[in-house]
Structure formats: structure tokens, C-alpha cells
């Protein structure tokens, strides 16, 4: 009997094992993720310093316009910090993350084929396809942002209209635990659906639209393994999401700067643990499927 049919998650386990082993034996695979981590780390520091001179001259007016004067002063500025970090991360992911992910996929392909991954060669490969992978990451980010906003606005309007409960549960549940869980599930599903688009572009040399269609087809075909490869690493970020959601409580309970430390921890966990495992393992799964 085919072991793949007997154990639906077999390919996911194999992809995980191979990815972790490759990252361990070939540290150069971490390079694109380290570069992005440095960029993201600096952006958090920049946002933290935004209310101070001379950065206040540049960042003061937009913060004042969109959120209010209060968020330019201590300690209220720390309440806004997670939101600004989230927006900055989205922008950086589109501009820099797309290119660096393309490089990581190219290097993962070399590692899978027992070749020595080369940073300069992976950069040349990714830069040639930059427009396509830029658009892919932009589409994924936009869909995630819109999907999360739709759920939030829908729930907010329902309760603002005067309803105290939904399905016998209070607003505190729907706007708290449910919203966090819904955002996580949406992120997993959307990322999983598009996860093979960049490998298809970089390795399969497929055009933009065709890569999206083929990624959906592969996701459907490899539904369970893909969900496992994407969701398990992302679970590591759940504690940070929960803590960030309760930033007012953390400021009152401890000290305002804890929000900054939490944001920096988020960069480390996301850029140096979650992203490498997801990117390398799903690329390996794609290559294994391609060989078949």
C-alpha cells in the first residue's frame, strides 16, 4: 500500500525533517531571513523613536493626523507601537521580503538538489523575477489585510448597532478570543493557498497568473501536508499575538517599554524561526511533488 495514502502527513514530516536538517547543516540558508530580521529590527527601533526629535518632524504629522496627538507622548505612544510595527512589517515584506523570499527559495532548491547554495546566484535568480514575486506578496498581504478588516468591521458594526450577544455569547468573546482565532485561521489558509506561487515562479519558471492558479491546485492536492507545514510554525507566534492584543494590561502591570521588547521578540521569532521553517519546508514539499 502507498505510504503517502496511509499517512496523509508523511510528506509534511519528511519536509520538516529535511528542512531542519538543511538549515542545521547549511547555515547560509538563514542569510535572507537574517537580512530581513535586521531590516525589521531597525524599523521597530525607528518607530519607537518616532515621537522624539528629529524623527518627530517626519513621523509626527501622520501620527497626529490618523491617531491623535496623544500617541506622540509617553507612555501612550507604546499603545500605538504594535499597530505601527504591523503596518511597517507589511510594507517591508512586500518591498524587501518578496526579494529575500525568492532568494531563500532558490537557495533551498540548491540545498534540496545537494548543491552548495550561493547568495550571489540566488540574488540574480530572484531579482530577475522580482516584479512577479513582489506582486504575489502584495496580493497575499492585501487579501490578508482586507479579510481581517472585514471580520473586524462586521463584528464591530453588529455590536455597535446595539446587540449585546451573538449566538448567546457576549461581545467580549467575539471581539477577543474569536477575533484572534479567526485572524490566525485566515492567515494560515491564505498563506497556504499562495505558498507554492513563489517556488513555481523561481524554480518552475511559471508566469505570475499561472503560478497563482497552480499554487491553488497544489494546495488542494497537498491540503493536509501544506496546512501542517504552515500552521505549526505559526503557532509559535500565538503567545506574542495574545500579549500584543493586551498591550494596555501589560503597560499597567509592568512598564511601557515591555511593548517594545515584545515587538523585537516578534521580529526574532517570525523572521528567524517561523519564516525559515515554512519557506524551506514548503519548497522541499513542492520539489518532492515536482519530482513525482
Q: Note the pLDDT of residue 101.
A: 97
| Domains of the chain by residue range | 3-291
Distance, in Å, from the CA atom of 141 to the CA atom of 162, rounded to the nearest integer, reads 32
Q: Note the pLDDT of residue 4.
A: 41
Distance, in Å, from the CA atom of 243 to the CA atom of 253, rounded to the nearest integer, reads 12
Distance, in Å, from the CA atom of 4 to the CA atom of 120, rounded to the nearest integer, reads 37
Inter-residue contact 98 to 10 (CB < 8 Å): no
Among the ranges given (8-17, 114-123, 210-219), the one the predictor scored with the smallest mean pLDDT:
8-17
- Of residues 88 and 3, the one with the higher pLDDT is 88
Inter-residue contact 86 to 44 (CB < 8 Å): no
Q: Is the pTM of this model over 0.85?
A: yes
Q: Give the residue-averaged pLDDT of 204-233.
A: 94
Q: Give the residue-averaged pLDDT of 1-25.
A: 70
Give the torsion through C-alpha atoms of 56, 62, 68, 69, to 10 deg: 20
Inter-residue contact 109 to 202 (CB < 8 Å): yes
Distance, in Å, from the CA atom of 89 to the CA atom of 44, rounded to the nearest integer, reads 9
Among the ranges given (57-71, 111-125, 155-169, 216-230), the one the predictor scored with the smallest mean pLDDT:
155-169
Tens of pLDDT, residue by residue over 107-128, are: 999 999 999 999 999 999 999 9
Kindly state the cell numbers that stand for 183: 485572524
Spell out where the chain has E strands.
165-166, 169-170
Average predicted confidence (pLDDT) for the chain: 90
Distance, in Å, from the CA atom of 13 to the CA atom of 9, rounded to the nearest integer, reads 6
Percentage of the chain exceeding pLDDT 90: 67
> Which 8-state DSSP code applies to residue 30?
G
Q: Note the pLDDT of residue 235.
A: 93
Inter-residue contact 93 to 62 (CB < 8 Å): no
Amino acid at each position: 500500500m502507498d505510504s503517502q495514502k496511509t499517512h496523509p502527513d508523511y510528506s509534511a514530516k519528511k519536509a520538516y525533517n529535511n528542512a531542519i536538517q538543511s538549515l542545521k547543516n547549511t547555515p547560509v540558508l538563514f542569510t535572507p531571513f537574517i537580512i530581513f530580521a535586521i531590516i525589521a529590527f531597525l524599523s521597530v527601533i525607528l518607530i519607537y523613536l518616532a515621537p522624539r526629535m528629529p524623527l518627530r518632524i517626519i513621523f509626527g504629522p501622520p501620527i497626529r493626523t490618523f491617531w491623535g496627538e496623544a500617541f506622540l507622548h509617553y507612555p501612550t505612544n507604546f499603545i500605538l507601537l504594535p499597530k505601527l510595527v504591523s503596518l511597517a512589517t507589511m510594507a517591508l515584506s512586500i518591498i524587501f521580503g518578496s526579494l529575500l523570499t525568492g532568494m531563500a527559495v532558490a537557495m533551498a532548491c540548491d540545498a534540496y538538489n545537494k548543491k552548495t547554495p550561493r547568495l550571489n546566484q540566488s540574488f540574480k535568480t530572484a531579482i530577475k523575477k522580482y516584479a512577479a514575486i513582489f506582486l504575489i506578496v502584495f496580493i497575499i498581504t492585501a487579501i490578508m489585510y482586507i479579510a481581517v478588516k472585514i471580520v473586524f468591521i462586521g463584528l464591530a458594526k453588529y455590536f455597535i448597532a446595539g446587540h449585546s450577544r451573538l449566538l448567546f455569547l457576549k461581545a467580549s468573546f467575539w471581539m477577543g478570543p474569536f477575533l484572534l482565532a479567526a485572524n490566525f485561521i485566515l492567515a494560515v489558509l491564505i498563506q497556504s493557498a499562495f505558498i507554492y506561487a513563489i517556488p513555481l515562479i523561481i524554480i518552475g519558471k511559471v508566469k505570475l497568473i499561472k503560478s497563482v492558479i497552480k499554487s491553488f491546485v497544489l494546495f488542494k492536492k497537498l491540503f493536509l501536508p501544506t496546512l501542517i507545514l504552515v500552521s505549526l510554525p505559526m503557532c509559535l507566534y500565538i503567545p506574542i499575538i495574545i500579549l500584543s492584543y493586551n498591550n494596555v494590561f501589560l503597560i499597567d502591570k509592568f512598564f511601557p517599554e515591555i511593548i517594545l521588547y515584545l515587538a523585537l521578540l516578534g521580529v526574532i521569532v517570525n523572521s528567524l524561526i517561523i519564516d525559515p521553517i515554512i519557506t524551506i519546508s514548503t519548497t522541499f514539499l513542492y520539489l518532492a511533488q515536482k519530482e513525482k
